[in-house]
Structure 1
Amino acid sequence: MATLAETPVDATETGGFTPKHWAERLPDGALDHIPGDDGWPMVGNTFTMLADPHGFVGKMIAEHGNVFRNTAFGGTVVNLIGADANELVLFDRQKMFSSEQGWGPILDQLFPRGLMLMDFDHHRADRKALSIAFKPAPMRHYAGALNRGISKAVAGWGGSEMEFYPAIKQLTLDLAADSFIGIPWGPEADRINEAFVYMVQASVAPIRKPLPFTLMRKGVKGREYLVDYFTQETRRRREEGGGQDMFSQFATATREDGSLLPVDEVVDHMNFLMMAAHDTITSSATTLIWLLAKHPEWQERLRAEITAVTGGPDADGNPRPLAYEDLGKLDLTEMAFKESLRIMPPVPSTPRRALKDFEYEGYKIPAGTPVGINTHYVHHMAEHWPEPEKFDPMRFTPEQVKARHKYAWVPFGGGAHMCLGLHFAYMQIKVLMAQVLQRYEIQIAEGYEPDWKAWPIPQPKDGLRVTFKSL
């Protein structure tokens, strides 16, 4: 089977633009009319961006406006900034942008053929087949597994100050082993988790070839391990029948004609969705815990809502599980989560590649141009978000949402590539909040502000030092 790098884009879908692969470059000077900064020879702006991605974008917008070019990771990108740009690129009415060719230079060695690296008909077909894993029956199963796993872990968090990020990362990986793969926690799950960690870290490694001793080499070796593991497991589950876990659902998913997805595609989808789920949820859960620790009045409001829904702790003082049927009743909890996603979106920016010539804000941008939108910057634009640095979950009342540009808030993407697992993310966060807030008050030291590594997926550099004080 051809790899993504060998597969041409369908000319009927792209207005005639058919590069042999996403690495084909534009002619010299094709983007000189776009204002910007190409940085240093060879490396461009790569290290400047990695050091302070949000500061870099802010500086570029201040100097050049909402359309600018920069060079990083070996290529030049045209950035389109604003809610209108988000809508143009994500909704993509005219099929002008390729997600496959946008993410390809970053993820192709590690997560090829994941949903995010597919376009148009192939993407729609596989997305529909995989959506079976997020139907009510399997989601109810995941809810039970999440309640059990989160309750067990959270019970041990009380006491002295701890680093929250590594704790929630380990918990999220363990939950993924249970809910996603259907294997018990233990050495096998640990080896799988290690492989995922290396793959995610390698996605933004400055050295893009898997040379010995490099991070990219570790990532590629991690992928090799997981491909072998998931290939054997897919075949076994098809022969023996699977359970309600996500992997079993994928292994037996069928397309509209009744055919099973090819084994290698199941493997690649599983690799990608495991990465997309556990790292983004780890980041967003950490952000929410940090913001609630800074704003104890919101802890109280969410605790009251959760207690009203669950009935409060049982006779032994243990939090009752959050029933699947009650997830939709936690309105304030969901609003607080949405506000944390606004302040710190787990995917700060999104790449695409133009498949047709187009014009935006007076600039003509040729087919073949890598383009990018910046979710984090738009989430902090005062025209959409008064006092944008303030934590205010009430921004997400139905009235406020209706009055705002639909694409001013896009932490889960939008259009055809809207995150397939967003309801799973909401469920995991609500179960986590139900367990934490019925047991503890979340505290941080006075004046404490963690330093955040902003990209590719935000995380506190010191792990986020918090204390869970028993109620």
Structure 2
Amino acid sequence: MNAPVNPKDLYPANLRPMGFEDLKHVPGPLPARFRTIKTIKFLADPKKAIAESAAEFGPVFRRQDFMGWGVTLLGPEANELVLFNKDKIFSSKLGWDPILDQVFPNGLMMMDFDHHRKDRKTLSVAFKPGPMKAYLSSLNEGIARQVARWSKTEQFKFYPAIKDLTLDLAAGSFLGLPWGPEAEKINKAFTDMVLASIAIVRKPLPFTQMRRGVRGRAYMSAFFAREIPNRRGKDGDDFFTQFCNATDDDGNLLTDQEIIDHMNFLMMAAHDTLTSSITSMVYFLGKYPEWQEKLREEVDQVRARHGGALPYEALGELELVEMAFKESLRMIPPVPMIPRRAIRDFEFMGHRIPAGSGVGVNPLYTHYMPEHWPEPEKFDPMRFTTQLSANRHKYAWVPFGGGAHMCLGLHFAYMQAKAFFYYLLAERRIVLPEGYEGEFRMVPIPRPKDGLPVTMAAR
């Protein structure tokens, strides 16, 4: 079995959180009288709050939130420094711990350096072409079945509908199970866990969101624990079975607890972020029907060449669908802010940042910088042609993070999004209410405030 990693072996023994006095040399606001109120206002509109802070203080500024004092670094150069992490200055675990440690501890994002590299390599077996082809077969069946069920005349809320669908798909691709009576409980468990990550009350006290999140984790952990013995030594193309039988370089299996932790995190990361991303793209295609028609033409051409079901080998032919998906991720990134903690002193843009500082980068801000994205408020998938992408800073677009912690499942995300729009656009037209302007809550994972009312009309 894999030996546990002692945190003391990874981080300096004298590392401590920073206070205002440690960071007062960095531009930024003074200590807030009511920190909770300040945090609530920030969470209500983080895009506006970050833009205002950048305008007042510049691309490097200190900040104060429920995690204490830290610094925000803005722009592609900041993203590259922190996410690529060439000199191993930044800890992902210590950055995410204050947010996720009670509900998603020991997931892949909560690991650093050699420990992270080892587990990532072990888990990567589930993303090889063989299993991916099997996942696509399951996705094809599930998506086609559900799209056919949606009304062609009645308006419905898209976000909860796609959330149900992605959970249904996860049952096959992730768990290798038919979705049964536990679906509603699992949906609630994951919703409570995600919302607990930004709960203002950080202790699981009675009647708090954190208590609901902790209970959700306990429910999911028990669910996975019951199934692990049934998967050991068995063949299966689903993620769960792949993880139960994956071995590291020394031939060791993951422990039961490691599998539980990775499955909890992966189900959240894949299910909730993809639900958000597909919802965003549906919104933009409904808002810009001329783009919807262009994508439909491409889908029709691919279907004419290959017939009904989307073959794995044809995924690369959906080039415009992929560009539109990328543009949706630019405008509404599924992870708008990415936290780290510095484990060594460093300098950036003339500012000395001490070890122990929370360090945040902001994809949402970077994705709207006009020097990298002309007319940033405009939905334009052609930004992602090879020609227009060639000279753009490679860290100007970071919806999947970057460096060693680049999203392990990004190819699965592309595959599921392409499969969804392959079936949807072949049969339906996305119609939004007349004059509709969507408004999204951006944290913890973007979602439309009103659920996104939509009609999936017949072509």
Task: Report the TM-score, using the length of structure 2 for normalisation.
Answer: 0.96
What is the deviation of 1:358?
Answer: 0.4
What is the deviation of 1:294?
Answer: 1.2
2:162 counterpart of 1:168: yes
Tell me: CA distance 1:408–1:52, structure 2 relative to 1, closer, same or farther (3 Å): same
Tell me: CA distance 1:263–1:28, structure 2 relative to 1, closer, same or farther (3 Å): same
Distance in 1 of aligned mates of 2:385 and 2:350: 35
Q: 2:62 aligns with which of 64, 69, 73?
A: 69
Indicate if the aligned counterparts of 1:183 and 1:189 stay in contact, CA closer than 8 A.
Answer: no
When structure 1 is superposed on structure 2, of 438-447 and 33-42 the one drifting more is 33-42
Q: 2:195 aligns with which of 179, 197, 201?
A: 201
Indicate if the aligned counterparts of 2:35 and 2:66 stay in contact, CA closer than 8 A.
Answer: no
Distance in 1 of aligned mates of 2:293 and 2:362: 33
What is the deviation of 1:28?
Answer: 5.7
Q: 2:208 aligns with which of 201, 204, 214?
A: 214
2:384 counterpart of 1:399: no
Indicate if the aligned counterparts of 1:335 and 1:393 stay in contact, CA closer than 8 A.
Answer: yes
- Show the counterpart of 1:47: 40
Secondary structure (helix, strand or coil) at the match of 1:33 reads: coil
Letter of the aligned partner of 1:182 in structure 2? G
- Show the counterpart of 2:226: 232
Letter of the aligned partner of 1:40 in structure 2? R
Q: 1:311 aligns with which of 289, 304, 320?
A: 304
Q: Give matches, 1:13-412, under 5 Å.
A: 17-19=12-14, 24-26=16-18, 29-37=21-29, 38-43=31-36, 45-157=38-150, 158-238=152-232, 241-311=234-304, 320-412=308-400
Tell me: CA distance 1:3–1:105, structure 2 relative to 1, closer, same or farther (3 Å): farther
Give the share of equivalent positions with the same residue, in percent.
56
Letter of the aligned partner of 1:336 in structure 2? A
Query: Alpha-carbon deviations, 1:72-127, whole Å to 9, x = none?
Result: 11411200001100000000110000000000000000001100000000000000
2:411 counterpart of 1:426: no
What is the deviation of 1:312?
Answer: 7.9
Q: Give matches, 1:424-463, under 5 Å.
A: 424-463=412-451
What is the deviation of 1:36?
Answer: 1.1
Indicate if the aligned counterparts of 2:67 and 2:98 stay in contact, CA closer than 8 A.
Answer: no
Mind listing any 5+ residue stretches in structure 2 that lack a counterpart? none
Mind listing any 5+ residue stretches in structure 1 that lack a counterpart? 12-16, 315-319
Distance in 1 of aligned mates of 2:35 and 2:74: 26
Distance in 2 of aligned mates of 1:409 and 1:392: 14
Distance in 2 of aligned mates of 1:400 and 1:310: 28
What is the deviation of 1:48?
Answer: 1.6
What is the deviation of 1:445?
Answer: 2.1
Tell me: CA distance 1:442–1:123, structure 2 relative to 1, closer, same or farther (3 Å): same
Distance in 2 of aligned mates of 1:391 and 1:286: 15
Indicate if the aligned counterparts of 2:35 and 2:64 stay in contact, CA closer than 8 A.
Answer: no
Secondary structure (helix, strand or coil) at the match of 2:232 reads: helix
Indicate if the aligned counterparts of 2:428 and 2:458 stay in contact, CA closer than 8 A.
Answer: yes
Indicate if the aligned counterparts of 1:46 and 1:72 stay in contact, CA closer than 8 A.
Answer: yes
Distance in 1 of aligned mates of 2:295 and 2:325: 11
What is the deviation of 1:195?
Answer: 1.2
Secondary structure (helix, strand or coil) at the match of 2:21 reads: coil
